[in-house]
Amino acid sequence: MEKKDLRIIFMGTPEFAVAPLEAMIEDGWNIIAVITAQDKLQGRGRKPKNSPVKDCAVKHGIPVLQPPNLKNPDFIETLKSYKAELQVVVAFRMLPEVVWSMPPLGTFNLHASLLPDYRGAAPINWAIINGETKTGVTTFFLKHEIDTGSILFQEDVPILPEDNLGDLYEKLMQKGAKLVVKTLDAIVKGEVQPRVQDETKAKNHAPKIFKETGEINWNLPAVAIHNLIRGLSPYPGAWCRINDKTCKIFKSEVLATDSSGTEVGAFKTDNKTYVHFQTGEGTLSILNLQMEGKKRMDIGDFLRGNSLST
């Protein structure tokens, strides 16, 4: 079968799914429709805003479906009418079996971890938060339980000490785009050999990130807090309270200096160049922050216009 003859439906919503979609289009795959989330109302005027995937599909003239309910009989009939032979899913919501089991060649998903490790909604965040030095991307066939289907291909991606969420997101997005195309090529050539996930390697979970996830516990070691900050930067940001105001911290540095005489959670500052927090183990220097009601700034710029009382 030629790639132009394979009828594919693509499902995805955020920016992370755009790179794989663009890669498929550039490589000449026959994408007959895109399924994405409904437009969100944003701003004071509550104007509808397209998902990044919808913008991409519209730009390339691909039909777009935005069902509010994936189990709706009318949507199911519409989906059947496209007679897709394969479905590709990247960063989309859970699919009912009637949807993922519909195409004869199945439905495969791109996940931003080395499955079975870091199954769940936020694998990129948690890999950094847990201090991992390696992660990757996986393509796998969908089945009932989330992120548990048979693995098709995997690619490793190193996590560098200076990487934050934004950095790793970009690396995995680009690597994932190439892996999706590689997976499609193998499926068309009949060269895929799906392998069951090894449950002994499912050591970590990647649940959704909530506001409370980002609250800094100064009793933790400085390294752990530093990794939390990296794993939530640039969004949504790790946070704490400073001088009775909420402060988001986006960049930090673990110091070798020992401030063992300082109370845990207390900070020292010259109100010119530095803010150092005492943690449960070691000292953490704050390099970039956003105080409540202020813009995000490097610490020197912030202290030039604001004083902190210790």
Whether residue 184 is annotated as binding a ligand: the answer is no
Query: Is 114 annotated as contributing to ligand binding?
Result: yes
Q: Contact, 42 vs 67, CB < 8 A?
A: no
Is 221 among the annotated ligand-binding positions? no
Nearest residue to 115 via CA among 144, 92, 147, 71: 147
- Residue given tokens 């990044």 in the structure block: 52
Q: Which two tokens stand for residue 245?
A: 């105001």
Q: Give the tokens for residue 27.
A: 């490589």
The answer to whether the annotation marks 79 as part of a ligand binding site is no
Query: In b/e form, how buried is each residue of 241-263, taking b as 16+ CB within 10 angstroms?
Result: ebeeeebbbbbbebeeeebeebe
Residues contacting residue 162 through CB under 8 Å, at least 6 positions apart: none
DSSP 63-109: -EE--S-TT-HHHHHHHHHT--SEEEEES-PPPPHHHHT-STT-EEE
Q: Annotated binding site, which residues?
A: 113-116
Q: Annotated binding site for (6S)-5,6,7,8-tetrahydrofolate, which residues?
A: 113-116
